[in-house]
Chains A and B, each alone.
Chain A
Amino acid sequence: MKAIIDAGDQKAMRGTAQPIDRFLSNQGRFSKADALYRKVSLLNALLIGVIAICSVFVVINIVLF
């Protein structure tokens, strides 16, 4: 049953899902039926957020100091 849901989700990912969803789910390798799906999405978002914020501060540091 899980395999069928996974296959269906992956197909949907490949066909219609947004690029953001694909990015957040490691190119669809973590499907919605996967227990880690939401954690993986949040983790990717957090890493991107940290990179973005830290980069901003790096630029600010360089410019201001």
Chain B
Amino acid sequence: MSGILKSTLIMAMVAFIASFALSHINNITQPEILKQEKEKQKAALKAVLPGYSIKEIKTAPADDSDFQYWIAEKAEDENIVNGYAFITEKPGYSGTVKTMVGIDNSGRILGISILQQSETPGLGARSVEISSTGTFFGALFGSSDKTERKIKAWFQEQFEGLDSGKPIEILKKGDWNESMKQELTEKNAISAITGATITSRTVKDSIEAGIKKLNKIIQEEKTTAEVPE
């Protein structure tokens, strides 16, 4: 009997000390973690709504989970035009792919930013990969030119300027480059990541689904605003 009591006491003590220490660590790191998340969202908003300033953050109840979106505005030729950003997600090849999308008044995609993904390294994970112009030996010997540093992943960059009102096509043309731009814009299409069609399609589908939700919500808001109570 005393054996059980002793074991219980020791185990309880170990657990107590562990929780005590961890709660302190948590107190130290929690503000940093929250700050990081906020900054990430801020940077993403800036990337998907270039030149706009955020006016409102809204959450609307949607079918499965809450739909979070932002209303932003920008002065253009003495007029104030609206822009919208929203977060949309769909299961990819492995795990959920979460994307932030920015569109303007006419439904043109201003930019997208993949916030979260756990796709295969070297394949689907290339959706967030920024192609570096520098090579390893260049970096080693300091000869790589640092002025050309890109800040956007090519896969995400090619969504810019697409018309969200029309369906987005997926073409298999390999890695995106400037010369493809015209053809892709004409076809309202993107070039899929080689070997990661599922990831490419997931991002495209989630954007289309998100735009549908956003349009519906905006429409509903307009009708409720027009009809006086």
Partners in one complex: no
Residues of A at the B interface (CB closer than 8 Å) are: none
